[in-house]
Amino acid sequence: MKAVLFIVFWFLYFPLLRLLTLVLFWNTKVIERKRFEKRNKFEARAHSFKEKGIVADLCFEFSSEGEYQQVAPLIEDKLKAGKKVELVFFSPSVEKAIMKLAAQYPTQIRYLRYPFIRLFPFIERRSFTHWVTAKTLILVRYDLFPEFLLWSMKKDRQLRMVWVTFKKERSKGKGPSIWKKLFLKNSQGIVYASALDALEGSKLGFSGPESDFRIEQIKRRMEKKESKFQVLFPLYQDFKKHLASYEMGKTIIMGNAWPSDLFLLRDLPKDVLVVIVPHQLSDEILNLFREGLDGLGREVFEMNYQTKTYRESNTVLVNKKGILCELYSDFPHAYVGGGFEGSIHSVLEPLVAGSSSLSCGPFHHRSTEYDLALDCGRISEVNTPEQFTAWLNDHGKKEDHARMKSLMKGYESLREFVTC
pLDDT at 26 over 90: no
How many other β-carbons are positioned within 10 Å of the β-carbon of residue 70? 25
Q: Which residues of 130-144 are buried (b: 16+ CB within 10 A; e: fewer)?
A: ebbbbebbbbbbbbe
Mean pLDDT, to the nearest integer, of 283-290? 97
Tens-place pLDDT, residues 322-342: 999 999 999 999 999 999 998
- pLDDT of amino acid 399: 65
Give 88's strand partners.
61, 112
Return the DSSP state at 175: P
User: What pLDDT does residue 345 have?
Assistant: 94
Instruction: Read off the pLDDT band of 260 (50, 70, 90).
Output: very high
Q: What pairs with residue 303 in β-bridges?
A: 318
User: Which residues, 6+ apart, have CB-to-CB distance to 327 below 8 Å?
Assistant: 253, 255, 275, 277, 318
Is the CB of residue 335 less than 8 Å from the CB of residue 344? no
At residue 2 the predicted structure's pLDDT band, cuts being 50, 70 and 90, is confident
Q: At 335, give phi and psi (nearest 5°).
A: -105, 130
Q: pLDDT digits over 379-417, tens only?
A: 999 999 999 999 999 865 666 667 777 777 889 999 999
**Residue 217, exposed/middle/buried by CB under 10 A (0-12, 13-18, 19+)?**
buried
Superfamily of domain 227-392 in the CATH hierarchy: Glycogen Phosphorylase B; (3.40.50.2000)
So what's the pLDDT on residue 401? 66
200-204 long-range contacts, CB within 8 A, separation 24+: 200/166, 200/170, 201/164, 201/166, 204/176
Overall average pLDDT of the 97-119 stretch: 95
- Predicted confidence at residue 398, as pLDDT, reads 61
Instruction: Give the architecture (CATH level 2) of 36-211.
Output: 3-Layer(aba) Sandwich (3.40)
Quote the pLDDT of residue 37: 95
Is residue 366 within 8 A of residue 167, CB to CB? The reply is yes
Domain ranges of the chain: 36-211, 227-392
Output the pLDDT for position 22.
Answer: 81
Half-sphere exposure of 30 (CA within 13 A, CB side): 14
- 36-211 and 227-392 have identical folds: yes
Q: What mean pLDDT, rounded, does the chain reach?
A: 93
pLDDT of residue 366: 82
DSSP-assigned letter for residue 411: H
Q: What is the mean pLDDT of residues 164-183?
A: 92
Secondary structure letter of residue 5 according to DSSP: H
